[in-house]
Structure 1
Amino acid sequence: MPPLRSSLGTVPLVALGTAGVIGSSWIYTGSEFFSAYDAGGEILGLALATVFVSCIALAYGELASAFPRAGGEVVFGYVAFNRGVAFAAGWLLTGAYVSSLAFYVTSLGALLGDVVPGMATVALYTVNGTTVHLPVLALGVTVAVFVFAVNWRGVSPGAWAQFALFAVMLTIGLVLAAVGFGHGTAGNAWPLFSGGLAESAGRTARFVLPAMTFLTGFSLVTVLAEDSRVPPRRLGRVILVTVGLAGAFYCLVLLATAWVIPWQRTASLDRGTIDAFLAAGFPALGWAAYTVAVLGLVTSFLGLFVATSRIVLAMGRAGLLPSGLARLHPRYGTPTRALVFTLAVVLGLGWLGEGALTWFLDTGGVYVGLAWVLGVASMYRVRRTYPHLDPPFRARPSAAPALGAVLATCVIAFTLWPGTGMSLVWPWEHAILLAWAALGVALYARTRRADDDAALRTLLGSRYDTLTTTRRE
């Protein structure tokens, strides 16, 4: 099968990855997290989480530089293990990404309801205690169709739109930081903790796990590797830059939030950074922070939509989904059928509204954590199976990805174990988790087993010949 058209340079690829990481909820939840973990617990916990996620990103950088093909974990799992692991990785990521995209269909309109009159009118139905309104649903459907249309002819237009939105977010973040540090005082932020050393360390450590979920979008870069014209060695660095930029942005804005007014006061407010700058006497900046939340939601939608279509494309190439989903447009070289599939699934779930889709969103954290573990395991397995591969980018130190995988496993464990504060809601979210797994098993059982060499040749393209010459006999 022909490759995708390589059109993404370094700058738009970094923008797609970083803006895909930075979401919207963290702007609002600053008050809640300052109250539960203190300002220091949230900020230092995020900094530590950035380090740990960077360890996982090292593995992804090594694999993406060796196999810069669409699908990321699907390709890595097939090369390292077998078609079963490849299907599991693709199915997990599809579940995580589609859940987020479907959630965004109605959450964007709900978020804009704070400033746009009439969004909460014309009630259609209620799901899980949340009413879905016609203007909210119509806006979400319009945005989804628009993102689909933008990507029909290629990923480049959407990537440059992502870059423009990311530039606005970055500018607003820097202004918030400048004003927060310039007009606030160190006394507002210090001490960062309300308790003693042991208690402060405990709060920081407890926030590392939820903070890791704030950084889940970095693998977008590996999924989009085939769309990029970035040299393989630089591709690994781009993945690390994506994690570092996102983590630094989070920490900078949150520290400015703690600086501009006493963080204990922010902990008693409702909307984190937004209310902190409003209370400090900067209404324009309060609404600028609100703009970051809106843009974060839009940029996440853009990145995840494109990434989902590439995962579907890779699974189609390997025969893990119908092969027709891997067909490219004869003129534009884009996976139009995979894009149609993504749009159909997103809209098919999106009508449920925020109330029900919060369940799907929570289970997505488990899917991503499992995919991370598979990704790290794939790196070590590839090293053993293909000892002479010599990828352009190497994960160093070699043990670092394993450390990240251990933390990812802790995220999964805390989510599945009852009463941890991160636990899934019983019984609905556990039921969704099991249902997605059962559906995946059923689909995998119905797939027609293809010759592994043929599937790998299709997945890897020109990289296949390099792989076969480096395999350990």
Structure 2
Amino acid sequence: MTTLARKLRITDYFSLGWGTMVGVGWLVVMDDWLMRGGSLGGILGFAIGGILLLPIGYVYGKLVMAMPDASGEVAYTAEVFPQSVSFFTGWMMLLAYFIVCPWEAVAVGRIAAYIVPALDSIELYRVAGKPVYLPHLAIGLCLTGLLTLLNYRGVRLSATFQNWTTFGTLALFVIFVGIGVTHGSTANFSPLFTHTPFISILLVLQIVPYYMTGYESVTKAAEESNPAFRSEGFLRAIWAATIVGFVFYIIVIAAVGFVAPWQKLIGTPFMTAVAFEHALGSRWIVSIILSAALLSLFKVFNGNFVAASRLLFAMGRRGLVDGRLATVHPTNQTPATAILWVGAATSACMFLGSAILVPVSDVGSLASAIGWCAACAAYLCMKPPARERAIALLGALVSIAMVLMKVLPYVPGNFSRWEWLALVLWLVTGILIGHPRGSEENRQSR
């Protein structure tokens, strides 16, 4: 039987983990972050959220070292919980990864139109009052097709693309932040909080799971490690991705708050770029920022594409979804059918436009926290040593708190009826097309 190609190294796993985590939120929705928490509230929200994720990352590292299975949370929960729990966990994590793909495919059109305003033309229709333009669709569909082909042809091609875009993003980030912070004032940080300090930080903490999802994607490519790869590298890659991730967010929020009076820029498209342009009085800095954003978009799209296709493939192998999704290409050694499915579904969802994708993306934040909680709970049930048990318990409690922040009605920023509707529709879809009980034969397979 053909197996997945084993070609990934520790650098590839870092690029996958960090690249899947950090997208273009730092450019596209910076005004939302600052309106939620203020400059200091945003910084503290991501700092606290990132630090609280380290125990969860540790648990994932220990689990993937013991079970290098592409199904990730599905495999971990299957060791100690009923198969229906594994299916639910996997289905939620699939949403967390997959929904990012059409979201990024839509975002690339928006960024391109900011560079070339003429692309905001040929309106096809409106969804929830927001226009869907033909050029935006065309650009997004072309990018989706390119990444589908890249992943179909081989994991080494995909990993090389991920490495170049990841380190290219980091290099451009260092350049524009380094230049930008020579112009600014600490007076621009005001107001430090938009509500009370507690509420400001809480509102930012609610979105941390969505913007920090990705470090655990390392586990989805665990079966594709180079034969010489040492399993400890999984944990190092996960922690490095997590730490670099939340430090990146902290720096970019601090930089925007420093270079310009951020309150006056609320509501402007791509606030991060506008803030730096305001500080330097020049358009060239915007070109650097938009270049970094495009590279970042490519890598987060590709990273989530890899994670979603591997998870779908592994669920098919276990009989939790159609077994044909477990097909491996005989020459390329890639999960070919799962890759084509993710590509086709991404293309279809693009036609919904950003108006529909926003609430579904918010559900992705909840889905991630559920998956993290399930992984920590599974590790606890495996009776690890006392120190590791305490870490797993902390990770589970953090995950539960993140879930409760989204669903409890009296917590500011909780789910709206549209987000509840999106969650219900996703669960119903899973029940209709999935096989929550799996099959005995496939349950025993890796």
Q: TM-score, normalised by structure 2?
A: 0.91
| Other-structure match for 2:142 | 142
**What amino acid is aligned across from residue 417 of structure 1 in structure 2?**
L
Question: For 2:429, which of 425, 439, 451 is the aligned residue?
Answer: 439
Q: d(CA) in 2 for partners of 1:209 and 1:442? A: 30
Kindly state the Cα deviation for residue 173 of structure 1 after the two structures are TM-superposed. Answer: 1.4
Kindly state the Cα deviation for residue 212 of structure 1 after the two structures are TM-superposed. Answer: 3.3
Moved more, 47-56 or 68-77: 68-77
Kindly state the Cα deviation for residue 37 of structure 1 after the two structures are TM-superposed. Answer: 1.7
Quick check: 1:359–1:429 contact (8 Å CA) kept in 2?
A: yes
Q: SS at the partner of 1:124?
A: strand
Deviations 1:288-330 (A, max 9, x none): 2233333322211101111111011111111112222112111
Q: d(CA) in 2 for partners of 1:338 and 1:70? A: 13
| Other-structure match for 1:66 | 66
| Other-structure match for 1:465 | none
Quick check: 1:72–1:224 contact (8 Å CA) kept in 2?
A: no
Is 1:215 equivalent to 2:231 in the alignment? no
Is 1:410 equivalent to 2:426 in the alignment? no
Deviations 1:224-269 (A, max 9, x none): 1112223111111111111011111111222222232355555686
Q: d(CA) in 2 for partners of 1:262 and 1:396? A: 46
In the TM superposition, 1:73-222 aligns within 5 A as 73-189=73-189, 193=192, 199-222=196-219
Q: SS at the partner of 1:126?
A: strand
Deviations 1:389-410 (A, max 9, x none): xxxxxx9654233323323222
Q: SS at the partner of 1:6?
A: coil
Quick check: 1:25–1:293 contact (8 Å CA) kept in 2?
A: no
Quick check: 1:55–1:400 contact (8 Å CA) kept in 2?
A: yes
In the TM superposition, 1:343-354 aligns within 5 A as 343-354=343-354
Quick check: 2:318–2:438 contact (8 Å CA) kept in 1?
A: no
Quick check: 1:44–1:204 contact (8 Å CA) kept in 2?
A: yes
Q: SS at the partner of 1:214?
A: helix
Quick check: 1:50–1:212 contact (8 Å CA) kept in 2?
A: no
**What amino acid is aligned across from residue 241 of structure 1 in structure 2?**
A
**What amino acid is aligned across from residue 236 of structure 2 in structure 1?**
R
| Gapped regions of structure 1 (runs ≥ 5) | 388-394, 460-473
| Other-structure match for 2:443 | 455
Is 1:383 equivalent to 2:386 in the alignment? no
Distance change (3 Å), C-alpha of 1:439 and 1:194: closer
Q: d(CA) in 2 for partners of 1:446 and 1:239? A: 29
Quick check: 1:32–1:272 contact (8 Å CA) kept in 2?
A: no
Q: d(CA) in 1 for partners of 2:212 and 2:193? A: 27
Distance change (3 Å), C-alpha of 1:241 and 1:192: farther
Kindly state the Cα deviation for residue 63 of structure 1 after the two structures are TM-superposed. Answer: 0.4
Q: SS at the partner of 2:118?
A: coil
Distance change (3 Å), C-alpha of 1:205 and 1:105: closer
Moved more, 175-184 or 107-116: 175-184
Q: TM-score, normalised by structure 1?
A: 0.86
| Other-structure match for 2:413 | 422
Moved more, 303-312 or 103-112: 103-112
Question: For 2:392, which of 375, 391, 401 is the aligned residue?
Answer: 401
In the TM superposition, 1:274-293 aligns within 5 A as 274-281=273-280, 282-293=282-293
Kindly state the Cα deviation for residue 2 of structure 1 after the two structures are TM-superposed. Answer: 4.3
Quick check: 2:84–2:436 contact (8 Å CA) kept in 1?
A: no
**What amino acid is aligned across from residue 416 of structure 2 in structure 1?**
V
Q: d(CA) in 2 for partners of 1:277 and 1:448? A: 53
Deviations 1:10-30 (A, max 9, x none): 112211211111111222433
Q: SS at the partner of 1:399?
A: helix
| Other-structure match for 1:315 | 315
Distance change (3 Å), C-alpha of 1:194 and 1:105: closer
Kindly state the Cα deviation for residue 143 of structure 1 after the two structures are TM-superposed. Answer: 0.8
RMSD: 2.5
Deviations 1:332-379 (A, max 9, x none): 211111111212222222211111222221222221111111111111
Distance change (3 Å), C-alpha of 1:174 and 1:58: same
**Identity in percent:** 27
Q: SS at the partner of 2:110?
A: helix
Q: SS at the partner of 1:182?
A: coil
Q: SS at the partner of 1:132?
A: strand
